[in-house]
Structure 1
């Protein structure tokens, strides 16, 4: 005999259900009702240079498709922010970025397999990183769509400065001019082949 306990309303009482397996008739395999298959969910990867509006677009897209957005900046800030001290060691930062990426990816795949679309706002500054996620999606047998967000350099600089000052919804940590230049040097724009498979948004 198995017992199952469920909390009652407002956790003030508990109801016990008892089931005796000996009283249940054997199950006929032919009579089992198969649950309907869930629709295939899509993994959306938003990428582009800093200040282009990636996080804004990722959040908007997630709302439009009723999906879940995973952004790497809050993860990095919450998990490793207290350990960061200037000057930043780029290799130290990237090691932790990779850890966050791995955990986010595992969670994103789990969510997508439950039928909910996922939007990834995880940087992917390098073409090799974007290809890596595309290949992992293929291995997981999940649809994958990239979204390239971009605008001119002057606008992006101004946006980053404004974000530092205003600290709105997409603010995670201040980006100094030196950090902006460093990240700008790391960014790899998509080539024609990559652009051909991406949704392109000019902001």
Structure 2
């Protein structure tokens, strides 16, 4: 059995983490969720207001560690599911290059929902703080991430599994 690298991407509040966790249970794969790593490793230290440079440095450190651990999991023949942001096309292209360089089967999963649905989900997640809560996403953070996210091109979606909810 060949292990597959499954990469989940989409805008904030689209349901990526819910999708990733459900997929991991179904497929018996190991899931890596960047927000969980960030919350556990750096949550108590997050400056208020959040400083972009501070956050990005830690995101890069977490991603490097996730890739390191994921490589070991994949080497055992176990599939991996990554929910690590990938807001920009260049980020997704970088993941594709890494997978191709390591000769790993790669499956992208694009998860989306209408912006008002996503905004409401984030607000509810901030209040309920349930299973998928890692860090509070303020309305300002949501809008910031909205400005960063680049919709996938048709070529990116070719062969991807697409899940769009209402």
Pairwise CA distance, 1:87: 1.4
Aligned to 2:16: 54
Residues 86-137 of structure 1, C-alpha deviations (whole Å, 9 max, x = no match): 1111121111101111110111111011010100011111111111111111
TM-score (norm 2): 0.96
1:128 is aligned to 2:111: no
Structure 2 counterpart of 1:153, from 109, 115, 128? 115
Alignment of 1:29-48 (within 5 A): 39-48=1-10
For 2:25 and 2:40, locate their aligned partners in 1 and report how far apart those are by CA, in whole Å: 24
**Runs of 4 or more off by more than 4 Å in structure 1?**
none
Q: Does residue 201 in structure 1 map to residue 158 in structure 2? A: no
Q: Name whichever structure is richer in helix by fraction.
A: 2
Say whether 1:139 aligns with 2:101. yes
**Greater C-alpha radius of gyration:** 1
SS in structure 2 of the partner of residue 46 of structure 1: strand
Return the alpha-carbon distance in structure 2 between the equivalents of residues 101 and 80 of structure 1.
13
Return the alpha-carbon distance in structure 2 between the equivalents of residues 78 and 56 of structure 1: 18
Q: Aligned equivalents of 1:78 and 1:64: distance in 2?
A: 25
Mark the runs of 5 or more structure 2 residues left unpaired by the alignment: none
Aligned-pair CA distance for 1:197? 2.6
Instruction: Name the residue aligned to 1:173.
Output: 135
Q: For the aligned residues, what is the CA RMSD?
A: 0.9
Greater relative contact order (Cα 8 A, min sep 6): structure 1 or 2?
Answer: 2
| Maintained 8 Å contact 1:40/1:113 | no
Aligned residues: 165
Q: Which residue of 2 aligns with 1:20?
A: none
The answer for unaligned runs of 5 or more in structure 1 is 1-38
